[in-house]
Chain A
Amino acid sequence: MSGLTFQLKAAPDERLDLSALIPGRLAAMASAEVAKLVVGTSKRRLTVGDVFAVSGKAGDTVTIAGGSSRLDFIAAELDQGTVIVEGDAGMCAGRKMRGGRLEIRGDAGAWLASGVSGGLVLVKGSAGENIGGQRPGDPYGMSGGIVVVDGDAGDRTGDRMRRGTIIVRKRCGANAGSRMMGGTIWAEQGFGPAPGILMRRGSLIGLAVEQMLPTFVDTGRHDLVVLRVLSRYLASVLGQRAPRPLSGAVRKYAGDMATIGKGEILITA
């Protein structure tokens, strides 16, 4: 593993757009060019050299040492290689990723993995609202890839998500899977109020639901083979990071019956 390390010199005093700092884009650039990349979002036009001390040689990995909740768009449009954040990340980390791996060793802000179509996003801490969600102008939310959040997730996780898998080790906030069109959200410790509001398809899996919407219908307890397939698939991709395998036995609620009702909330308790 080789690559450039961007050491934050001091806590940034404005929001920074770090979308340029991905291995594929930096590989062809000389170090002087890298230092001149604009990352500021104000009239000051802060550059990489103003904000970071850069070390190492361009390779398949980019490391951002020293995190901040003002570091936005980290690993945006990443298609190969690895981006590591040794600290917190701001908004839209991993936005529109198509491949590769983003590893955030702190917390992530809102819109983590919005518009992602492939790749792997790992967050050691918690993440904000709208993980894998739909940003204004997007046709839908996440459409592929895997997101794993070791902590809690904010509200509206997977809003209008179409495909892919979001795993939350702890708990999702309110309205997880809102307007969901497909894919899977697996919150190991369950969901906050009103998950799946206006969902059409897709699966929400969790220990419990704080408040079930009246537009979800109880279909009883079932042994679902597809959950075994899901568990084995995640084990093959995530190894030790995979959630504990499901036996398949769950209580299934179908909904949102206010739409076409092909979605489901599966209670593992």
Chain B
Amino acid sequence: MKSRGITIDDTFAEAFTMSATGVVITADSEKWARQAAVTMSGFGTSVIGCGAEVGIDRALKPDQTPDGRPGVRVLLFGSTPDALEPQLKNRVGQCVLTSPGSACYAGVESKTRIGLGKGPRFFGDGFQTPKRLGKSRYWRVPVMDGEFVVEESTGVVTDAVGGGNVLILGNDRAGLLATAEAAVAAIGEVPDVITPFPGGIVRSGSKVGSKYKGMVASTNDAYCPTLRGRVQSELGPDTVAVLEIVIDGLTSQAVANAMKVALRTIIDTGGAKGVTRVSAGNYGGKLGQHHYRLRELLP
């Protein structure tokens, strides 16, 4: 089907059930809260090689944070809660504790908890002190600019979704990038989702497996424009590039909302920038528990 001159494939995005947790990082200014959040999100694009998929969900106003300072919510997605816990511990310990003026609180509410300040508190070398307020326990770790306040645990859910996606195809690489950027910015307004790849955009879509032993994923040759003619390509003759937006969400509905917003942005603005086609990545529907049909998400 076509919408505003852009072909929409009659296909679906295939996504997987994942575990997810989150934190709220605050600081003296949003700039520094974001700095800690960006640092913590580094090397967090895919569970395949990074151990966790990490990204900024949204900025929080002072009246939305536990300490009344500007904040940023970061979400982490992984295969299991046990896999997420060391990721959280290391990222908070190395990237948030070290950031000037920062504090770190639970960012997901759930009965199931994993350690947040449990590990980093030992940086206090015995000078750390606890403060329990209601059901939450906070650790105050002395550091060189005062105290690092970190909540002892945060919630973890096991019914989150990872791998929602949209593929943007077209005949102008710069225009595609600008369209993808606009779509990622629009997704930024949707709560409870992240786009974990660089700037939210992936240029190296993968297929399952490889000719090489030990590689669990390799380049998606059917979507590589320079291989057109050599492989069974999925690309038309005018396609010069494909960019993908991958979406992880705390709920399936959140992922669907983000895909809707992305599709609307691409259709509204992409035609003038060389976008000719929109598609989605799947594995035939046999691997992922969640399917998002593009035609059901169109504006």
Binding site for B on A (CB under 8 A): 144, 163, 165, 182-184, 201, 203, 222-226, 228-233, 237, 245, 262
Contact = CB atoms under 8 A, between A and B. Distances in A.
Contact of B146 (A201, A223, A229, A230): A223
A229 B129 contact: no
A229 B134 CA distance: 11
Given A225-B103, A225-B149, A230 B133 contact: yes
B131 interface: yes
A218 to B, nearest CB: 16
B181 interface: no
Contacts of B66: 229, 232-233
A225 B69 CA distance: 9
Interface residues of B, number: 19
A182 B130 CA distance: 8
A230 B103 CA distance: 14
Contact of B149 (A182, A226, A231, A237): A226
A233 B149 contact: no
A225 B67 contact: yes
B103 to A, nearest CB: 5
Most buried by B among A182, A183, A229, A262: A229
B69 A228 contact: yes
- Say what secondary structure dominates the interface of chain A: mixed
A229 B26 CA distance: 11
Nearest to A232: B68
A237 B134 contact: yes
Contact of A224 (B26, B136, B147): B147
Nearest to A231: B68
Nearest to B134: A233
B77 interface: no
B32 interface: no
Contacts of B140: 224, 226
B133 A165 contact: yes
Nearest to A201: B129
B223 interface: no
A163 B132 contact: yes
A223 B130 CA distance: 18
B96 to A, nearest CB: 13
Given A232-B66, A232-B68, A226 B146 contact: no
B292 interface: no
A229 B132 contact: no
B12 interface: no
A226 B132 contact: no
Given A225-B103, A232-B66, A203 B131 contact: yes
Contacts of A165: 133
Contacts of A233: 66, 133-134, 136
Given A183-B132, A228-B69, 19 more contacts: A201-B129, A203-B131, A222-B146, A222-B147, A224-B147, A225-B26, A225-B69, A226-B131, A226-B138, A226-B140, A226-B149, A228-B67, A229-B103, A229-B131, A229-B133, A229-B138, A229-B149, A232-B68, A233-B136
B69 A226 contact: no
A165 B134 CA distance: 9
Given A232-B66, A232-B68, A224 B146 contact: yes
B124 to A, nearest CB: 11
Given A184-B131, A233-B133, A237-B134, A226 B68 contact: no
A182 B133 CA distance: 11
A66 B130 CA distance: 42
Interface string B154-195: 000000000000000000000000000000000000000000
Contacts of A230: 131, 133
A225 B146 contact: yes
B83 to A, nearest CB: 29
Nearest to B148: A225
A229 B67 contact: yes
Interface in B97-138: 103, 127, 129-134, 136, 138
Contacts of B130: 182, 201
A232 B65 CA distance: 9
Nearest to A233: B133
7 contacts: A222-B146, A225-B146, A225-B149, A226-B140, A229-B67, A230-B131, A231-B68
Contacts of B132: 144, 163, 182-183
B43 to A, nearest CB: 28
Nearest to A236: B134
